[in-house]
Amino acid sequence: MLSTVLEQVVNGIVTGSVYAIVAVGMTMIFGVLRAINFAHGEYYMLGTFGAWFAVDYLGLSYEASIVVGILATIVVAYVVGQLVMRRMVGAPAESGVLATLGIALILQNAVIFVFGGGYKFFSGGYIEPISILGFSLAQQRILILVVCLVVFVGLELMVTYSRLGMAMRAVSQNVECCEVVGIDVPQVVLRTFILGAALAALSGVLTAPVNVSVYGGMGELITFKTLPIIIMGGLGNVRGTFFAAMILGIAESLVATYVGLQFRDTVGFATLILVLMWRPYGLFSTQARF
């Protein structure tokens, strides 16, 4: 009994790590743009499709496919960023919502149009189970955990010490002041956006061997899961996002086991609405920022 619960918690933490890597990009983009990126899950999907294409069509190894998936997403994100995201600086919140919804429609359906709407099988990755402390866990899941920790430590360092990180923090505090002191705001927005999209793609490529199936609509589901996370974590709050993702991952995993698998995907939005009512500024921020 206890070991089942523990096993579900561990599974939940792995799922949470996947969400965390996607959500942190979304929350950073919110930080600099004050706009929710409703298309964020599509970059997760693009990364997965890039990797699947590399493995299935080009016959590359899984390691190479990670690079292909992320690079393909970066190229798409660069184009979207130049054409759309830069224009969103200073635009009202509603236009951000509509524009990113439009991008989500375009990306998702362009992929379905090119590759077909059916489910594809992702072969690759390290799915051999190994056992640690009596649990058996696929290597891939351990890889996800490790990458998640590395990503978050790296982001924490980057946001604190690097030039781009400092610029990002500055833009998220006051756009006008940044313009006055000569920070190229659209450039910071563009870089943050590409970084966020690349992280989403990384998450997608890492999860593909665990999820096995690859399909065009997968991005939408991830967007709907990360929205609650970034709200719970407090918009723009990197550390809060990490903990919120873990909470949602574990909650989903427990609900799937003890309530019913079909309710798993509702947990996020039910939580989101509750959190919005109760603490609109998130669980981990002490005051309303936006």
Partner 1 sequence: MSLTETVQQARRRDLRIPLAAVLVVIALAAPYIGSRYVTHSLIIALIFMLPAHGLNLLVGYTGLLSLAQAAFFGIGAYTAGLLAVTYGTPFYVNLIAAGVVSGAIALPLGIPALRLRSTSFVMCTLGFVIIGQAISKNWVSLTRGDMGLSGIPKPYFELGPLSFSVSGTTNFYYLALAIGALATFAAWAIVRSPAGRNMVAIRENETLAESLGVPTWHYKLIVFMLSAVFAGIGGCLYAYYLTVVSPLTFQMYYSTTMLIIVLGGGAGMISGTVFGSLLFVGLTEALRITPELRMIAYGFCLLVLVFWFKKGFAPLINRFWNVIGGVK
Separation between Cα atoms, residue 226 and residue 228, nearest integer Å: 6
**Own/partner long-range contacts of 133-136 (Cβ < 8 Å, ≥24 apart):** 134/3, 135/6, 135/7, 135/10
Q: How many CA atoms lie within 13 A of 95 on its CB side?
A: 10
Measured from the CB atom, the residue of 102 and 154 that comes closer to partner 1 is: 102
Which pair of tokens denotes residue 211? 């999820």
Q: Which stretch binds partner 1 (CB under 8 A): 4-12, 53-61, 86-94, 138-146?
A: 86-94
Phi and psi torsions of 216, nearest 5°: -65, -30
Contact 129, 14 (CB under 8 A): no
> Looking at 90, 118, 129, 280, which residue binds partner 1 (CB under 8 A)?
280
Residue 262 lies near partner 1 (rule: CB under 8 A): yes
Q: Which stretch binds partner 1 (CB under 8 A): 142-150, 181-189, 224-232, 240-248?
A: 224-232
Residue 112 lies near partner 1 (rule: CB under 8 A): yes
Residue 283 lies near partner 1 (rule: CB under 8 A): no
Pairing state of beta strands 129-132 and 135-138? antiparallel
Measured from the CB atom, the residue of 140 and 253 that comes closer to partner 1 is: 253
The H helix count followed by the E strand count for the chain is 11, 4
Separation between Cα atoms, residue 128 and residue 2, nearest integer Å: 25
Residue 177 lies near partner 1 (rule: CB under 8 A): no
Phi and psi torsions of 152, nearest 5°: -70, -40
Residue 35 lies near partner 1 (rule: CB under 8 A): yes
Q: How far is the CB of 187 from partner 1 (least distance, A)?
A: 19
Q: How far is the CB of 115 from partner 1 (least distance, A)?
A: 11
Contacts with partner 1 by CB under 8 A lie at: 35-36, 84, 87, 91-99, 101-106, 108-110, 112-113, 117, 220, 224, 227, 231, 260, 262-263, 265-266, 269-270, 272-273, 276-277, 280
